[in-house]
Chain A
């Protein structure tokens, strides 16, 4: 009797595994996604091939997002935010979505600090790239990977 029960357990687990595997085949069958190259050319276009610095950008992204339809994205950038030294624009990009752009934010010194938070759609596991343009024309970049369980593809 006990043995019988165990066998049933295994076969149920096995069946579940097969469903998950089938699901991932469907997911990879989706066409036309942006990739690293699309983001790289976008960055080149924005920066005019200027060199990009690192650091002072703090990202707040989940490691794993269960629902790709609404993934929190927040960042803060260490800046005095005075009229001659402030963060002008911040671009948020994703390299695994149908298009690389997510949103861009325009800051002014009146804000007193540089940070923002919103929610985005992610089609699959991918890198989130944050590119900041300073008032002196220099650029800073940070990136982080978000693992997506169920994509917010809307397809």
Chain B
């Protein structure tokens, strides 16, 4: 099985009021529960069902994924820089396993 690894792209520096685009991706097969393996057995559903992003402890954005989201789910969203702080990104897998990534940003 491939290793589940999050990757995020956040600028390390930004100006006050600047509009940023935050990109986040996690390597994950996103098994829909419909595909079969080589022996013809159904592969049980296992997907990343939720992504959320917070900045300095405050929730800013979240997404709920269904099996129709592609493998290695990618998400991009806007964010307006107002102050320095830390982003925290969380992905939740079916069954409750969590994967996180953090990134600090300096705003001046």
| B75 CB–A CB distance under 8 Å | yes
Q: Complex formed: what's the CA distance from A118 to B26 in Å?
A: 12
Q: Complex formed: what's the CA distance from A151 to B42 in Å?
A: 19
Beta-carbon contact of B69 and A104 below 8 Å:
no
- By beta carbon, the residue of chain A nearest B43 is A154
Contact of B78 among A112, A120, A155 (CB under 8 A): A112
Shortest distance between the CB of B72 and any CB in chain A (Å):
8
Instruction: Report the interface size for chain B: residues with CB under 8 A from the other chain.
Output: 29
Beta-carbon contact of B69 and A119 below 8 Å:
yes
How many chain A residues sit at the interface, stated as a range, is: 20 to 34
Q: Complex formed: what's the CA distance from A25 to B88 in Å?
A: 48
| A143 CB–B CB distance under 8 Å | no
B-side interface residues toward A, CB under 8 Å? 19, 32, 34-36, 55, 58-71, 73-80, 82
Residues of A within 8 A of B59 (CB): 108
Contact of B34 among A69, A110, A115, A154 (CB under 8 A): A154
Shortest distance between the CB of A78 and any CB in chain B (Å):
13
Q: Complex formed: what's the CA distance from A139 to B98 in Å?
A: 32
Q: Complex formed: what's the CA distance from A95 to B80 in Å?
A: 34
Beta-carbon contact of B70 and A155 below 8 Å:
no
Residues of B within 8 A of A117 (CB): 74-77
Residues of B within 8 A of A122 (CB): 68
Beta-carbon contact of A113 and B63 below 8 Å:
no
Beta-carbon contact of B70 and A110 below 8 Å:
no
A-B contact pairs, 8 of them (CB 8 A): A70-B70, A105-B64, A113-B78, A116-B63, A118-B75, A119-B74, A121-B70, A152-B70
Beta-carbon contact of A106 and B62 below 8 Å:
yes
Q: Please give me the 6 A-B residue pairs with the lowest Cβ-Cβ distance, nearest first.
A: A112-B80, A154-B35, A119-B70, A113-B78, A117-B76, A101-B66
